[in-house]
Structure 1
Amino acid sequence: MTAAPPGTGSGTGALAFDGSGIDGGLYTRVVGWADAAPPWLDRLAADWSAYGLVLFAVLTVCGWARARGAGPVLMARALAAPFAVVAAYAVNSGLKRVIEEVRPCRQLPVRATLEGCPVAGDWSFPSNHAVIAFAAAASLWLVHRRLGAAALAAAVAMAASRVWVGVHYPHDVAAGALVGVLVAVPLTLLAGRAEPLVGRARGGPFGGLLGAGARA
């Protein structure tokens, strides 16, 4: 466990938003559970929180591989998935700068957190990890349902881990999930309209990457 910094977030500014009144009690309870949990569970949660986003990149590649044997609409969506994730991250970054919510580990007198508290000015709302995870899951759901379901389960685990390690309020990850889905779904669906371009590209030099000969 890493000791949480005392006080109300020195250096964050008087206008920084304090989200503790929303679900600070639930956050404190979850951090308490983490403090009392077996070390192996805390290590698993901390490692997943730190490195789990790699899995979403792997699943996105799997989505592309699956789309090679599908129609051009699904391939267009699979190709758009990484861009949808980047777009969701960009929207979320803008929200963070506007809202400027202080991290709970800087705002609340918790005894310790599994992950070191981010520096002052590294805002909490919404959670970038949750945005990335749920944007990837939403895009994958529109490409391949089983991959999307696996990604969704992983996204829920990622969101939960960010609260467990002490760096986010529950409402941070819930909002992050919502932003990820609301940005990724329309962009991925819109990308499906590039079906004619993908169909033509499958007959060209990139046909091997796009699934030349796949059914229309």
Structure 2
Amino acid sequence: MAGLDTTGSNPDVSLLYDINGLAEDSPNWFNRIMEYVGEYGLVLTLVLVVVWCWWGARKRGTLDDAASSVAAVVWAPLAAALAVVVNIPIRGFVERPRPFRDHQGLEVLVDGKTDYSFVSDHATLAMAIGAGLFVANRKLGLLGIALAVAEGFCRVFMGVHYPTDVVGGFALGTAVALLLSPLAQAVLTPVLRAVGRSGRAGRLVWAGRGPAGGGAGAVAIAEPRAESAPDERDLAA
């Protein structure tokens, strides 16, 4: 995919210059903020959203509900890590150079990017977390997906990825997070249920009260004691 032209006949390159051109027209302080946000800030924000989602999931009514919900949340970062690993052979197979190596006039905000461009690790990781969160919590999942889209925009704005690198990352992250989610749930839920029944570590899975085996608020109700039949001697008296 090397040697793409800059004349606009290639939509990928044309969109690259349109988005990256915003960096050239922006003040230096704004570009420095975008550099930090695109390289670290949005990923850290996604991690905080995962923590927020986990904090709510562990407050579900019963241990079984909490274990299932926390399993879905835990899968989000695990899916992101797995998707980035899957991307390693993809990058090696495609071997697409970074856009600034083949095209002149780009405003590159991050130095030292010497690896291949397709697909974007940042876009892959961000969308895997967003899609994984969507399975666990619809509202926070939509927030995660929005942050992932912002991450993809930043990577093109910074001049380190083509738009198709980002789209490929979105597709890879979504596929790994959603397709493997049922298997992950089946494996993680019983493990976390067992952790929830343990001592202090159980608070990581379930913040409810009551016996872990019977769910939150389970109260043992004593059966009424049967009154003994009157003794015949008492009746005779």
Residue-by-residue CA offset, 1:63-102 (whole Å, 9 max, x unaligned): 2212101312211112222211111001111110110001
Report the Cα offset of residue 40 of structure 1: 4.1
Q: Does 1:201 align with 2:195?
A: yes
The one of 27, 49, 58 aligned to 1:59 = 49
1:163 to 156, 165, 170: 156
Aligned length in residues: 198
Contact 1:78 1:143 in 2 (8 A): yes
* Higher RCO (CA 8 Å, separation ≥ 6 residues): 1
1:192 Cα shift? 2.1
Q: Which structure 1 residue ranges, 4+ long, deviate > 4 Å from structure 2?
A: none
Aligned counterpart for 2:146 among listed residues 135, 141, 153: 153
Please, what is the CA RMSD of the aligned residues?
2.0
Q: Name which one, 1 or 2, has greater alpha-carbon Rg.
A: 2
Q: Residue type matched to 2:16 in 1? A: Y
Gaps of 5+ in 2: 5-9, 210-214, 217-237
Taking the aligned partners of 1:211 and 1:80, their CA distance within structure 2 comes to: 17
Q: Distance in 1 between matches of 2:160 and 2:106?
A: 13
Select which of 94, 98, 101 maps to 2:93: 98
- Work out the percentage of aligned pairs sharing the same amino acid: 33
Indicate the residue corresponding to 1:78 in structure 2: 73
Secondary structure at 1:114's aligned position in 2? Answer: coil
TM-score for the superposition, normalised by structure 1 = 0.83
Q: Summarize the Cα distance change of 1:124–1:209 in structure 2 as closer, same or farther, 3 Å threshold.
A: same
Per-residue CA deviation, residues 144-180 of structure 1 (Å, 9 max, x unaligned), is: 1222121111111110000001000000001001100
